[in-house]
Chains A and B, each alone.
Chain A
Amino acid sequence: MSKEIKGKKKEAGKKKKLQLAFYWAASCGGCEIAVLDINEKILDVVAIADVLFWPVAMDFKYKDVEAMKDNHIDVCFFNGSIRTEEQEHIAKLLRKKSKVMVAFGACAVNGGIPGLANIANREEVFNVAYLDNPSTDNPKKITPKTSVKVKEGTLTLPEFYDTVRTLDQTIDVDYYLPGCPPTPDMIMTAVGAIAENKLPPKGSIIGPLKSVCDECRFEKSEKKIKQIKRIYELDKWEEKCLLEQGVVCLGPATRGGCDARCLDANMPCTGCGGPTPNSLDQGAKMMSALASILGIEGEEKMSDEEVEKLIDQIVDPIGTFYKYGLPSALINRKVMKK
């Protein structure tokens, strides 16, 4: 067989490869690493897919994406929440160019850690970052501006928004992959479903319907706690539910799929999987659960001051219960004075 025919045969038998894109917005980059956490399986992914756009890994330009036809990309994995004009622009651009848009990771799905900035606004964030920080020396009080005139011309920066938003508060999202970051198993489930064209209905969260507790190894019994403790404050280590030992663990209010990895490392769940199915507000659900079991023993004899004291052990409800989900919560930002 001549080389030519061999080449032609190969061409005919070859299915068109999946065209993928990856992008990061307001995120730490952990989701990008998570893509590589699938280890040698990345070779399986490369065998069925081409990467068209992945700024963190290779030198792609925005104009390459702009030049694509609409719906040219099969699947776009988008991680990070939206806090700047540039991120919003690219999210909208990628939405136009992609058939399927996947919100990848806690930040894109629920707002994530960057979403905690919703307890402030741009002015307050800039003040802390550029002016009031003890280690900052900025006598001219320079803060980022959207445009600055220099002798060579005008320099521009994207606008920094007051409020951090999730991806689906910005564009239409087809699927959600929660987690900080999503586990390799979840990523492979998603890639497999895409490759075999067995995707669930639009809007699905690719993950189990059960909570983290369902996957947790610790023994669980009746829950009643007298005092909130941090892990290091435990008198002795017991192989039982951390919540029962007094540690705030968001397992009951958080969607599983992570195999309770944090619990495996003897640390409590902090809620990166987002709310459980049909729950409107993860933090409120957890507050409800925790307040029910805190001080349940002898509750009928407790004075209001004692109850107050019990509750005062929780110093920062937003940081504790909305660590990964403030932008997607029912009330998703602090009310700022005008």
Chain B
Amino acid sequence: MTEKFEPNIIGFLCNWCSYAGADLAGTSRIKYPPNIKSIRVMCSGRVDPVFILEALKKGADGVLVAGCHPGDCHYQSGNYKTNRRIKLLKKLLGELAIDPDRVKFEYVSASEGQKFASVVTEFVDELKKMGPNPLKEVKV
């Protein structure tokens, strides 16, 4: 029997909203799949496209970037920039024949523990349908 595929997700969560949101999911004992490895960053704007590419190169099946809702950024505008960066990065991934949906940008506020859990749950389901990151098999 083949082993069941469990996607490996790297999550970049902004300190002020999404990380607190993930914390709330934890303290409220909301269940969500354990496939995500969360990394706290001060702002989603800190997430350089290089981080995402490197995560994918090193075998992450999906990358979740979560930041404050529009207008809520602690640093005024970091989330807007990340939104644009990730849209552009997805175009690049498309050209490289890597499913752009492997990268996800979501707004999760500090009070949205439930939303965080459902975002992760949905992402895991999507990635299970997509299968493992194709870069894991490519050897150059």
- Determine the distance from Cα of A292 to Cα of B53 in the docked complex, in whole angstroms: 18
- Determine the distance from Cα of A308 to Cα of B100 in the docked complex, in whole angstroms: 14
* Pairwise interchain contact B50-A291, C-beta atoms closer than 8 A: no
B138 close to chain A: CB less than 8 A: yes
- By DSSP majority rule, is chain B's interface helix, strand, loop, or mixed? helix
Against B, the Cβ 8 Å flags (1 = close, 0 = not) of A299-313 are 110101001101100
* Pairwise interchain contact A280-B140, C-beta atoms closer than 8 A: no
Chain A: minimal CB distance from B120 (Å): 21
* Pairwise interchain contact A335-B87, C-beta atoms closer than 8 A: no
Identify the closest chain A residue to B138 (Cβ): A335
* Pairwise interchain contact A334-B50, C-beta atoms closer than 8 A: no
- What band does the interface of chain B fall in when counting residues whose beta carbon is under 8 Å from A? 20 to 34
* Pairwise interchain contact A330-B53, C-beta atoms closer than 8 A: yes
B26 close to chain A: CB less than 8 A: no
Against A, the Cβ 8 Å flags (1 = close, 0 = not) of B27-71 are 000000000000000000000111001101100000000000011
* Pairwise interchain contact A333-B50, C-beta atoms closer than 8 A: no
Identify the closest chain A residue to B45 (Cβ): A292
* Pairwise interchain contact A318-B48, C-beta atoms closer than 8 A: no
* Pairwise interchain contact A288-B53, C-beta atoms closer than 8 A: no
Contacts of B65-122 to chain A: CB distance below 8 A? 70-71, 77, 80-81, 83-85, 87-89, 91-92, 95-98
* Pairwise interchain contact B135-A335, C-beta atoms closer than 8 A: yes
- Can you add 13 more A-B contacts, CB < 8 Å, to A302-B80, A335-B135? A285-B50, A287-B88, A287-B92, A291-B88, A299-B80, A307-B83, A311-B88, A321-B92, A330-B54, A333-B138, A334-B95, A334-B96, A335-B98
- Measured CB to CB, the residues of A under 8 A from B are 119, 163, 165, 169, 279-281, 283-285, 287-288, 290-292, 294-296, 299-300, 302, 304, 307-308, 310-311, 314, 316-318, 321, 329-337
- 27 A-B pairs, CB-CB below 8 angstroms? A279-B50, A280-B54, A281-B53, A281-B54, A284-B89, A285-B48, A285-B49, A287-B49, A287-B88, A287-B92, A288-B85, A291-B85, A292-B85, A295-B84, A299-B77, A307-B84, A308-B87, A311-B91, A318-B95, A318-B96, A331-B56, A331-B98, A332-B140, A334-B95, A335-B97, A335-B134, A335-B135
